Chain A
Amino acid sequence: MKPRDLHKGIEKGGVFRPQLTSLVDIMVMLLFFLIQSFSIEGNLVTPSTDLELPVSNATKNPEPFCNLHITRTQVLVDDIVTVTNEKIAASQDFLIPELFKMMKAQKAKNNDPLSKGKLLIQADKEIPFAIVKKVMYTCSKAGFDDFKVLVVQEE
Chain B
Amino acid sequence: MKRLSFFKALRPSEAIEDEVELDITPLMNIFIILVAFLISMAIFTKLAIVEFSLPPNVDSTMNTSDQKPAPKLTVRLDKNYIGIVLGDALLDSLPVADNAYPFDSLAARLMVRSNENDYKGEIVVASVDQVSFKLIVHAMDICRNSGFEKVGLSSATSDPGAGQ
Contacts and interface: CB of A to CB of B under 8 A. Distances in A.
Given A148-B50, A148-B51, A151-B48, A37 B42 contact: yes
B49 A37 contact: no
Contact of B133 (A57, A124, A143, A152): A124
Given A30-B35, A140-B60, A145-B61, A153 B47 contact: yes
A136 B59 CA distance: 9
B73 to A, nearest CB: 20
B155 A133 contact: yes
B90 interface: no
Contact of A150 (B34, B44, B47): B47
Interface in B2-56: 21, 24, 27-28, 31-32, 34-35, 38-39, 41-52, 54
Contacts of A150: 47-49
Contacts of A38: 38, 41-43
B96 interface: no
Interface of B: 21, 24, 27-28, 31-32, 34-35, 38-39, 41-52, 54, 58-61, 127-134, 136-138, 140-141, 144-145, 153, 155
Q: Nearest 4 A-B pairs (CB), nearest first?
A: A130-B129, A34-B38, A125-B134, A153-B46
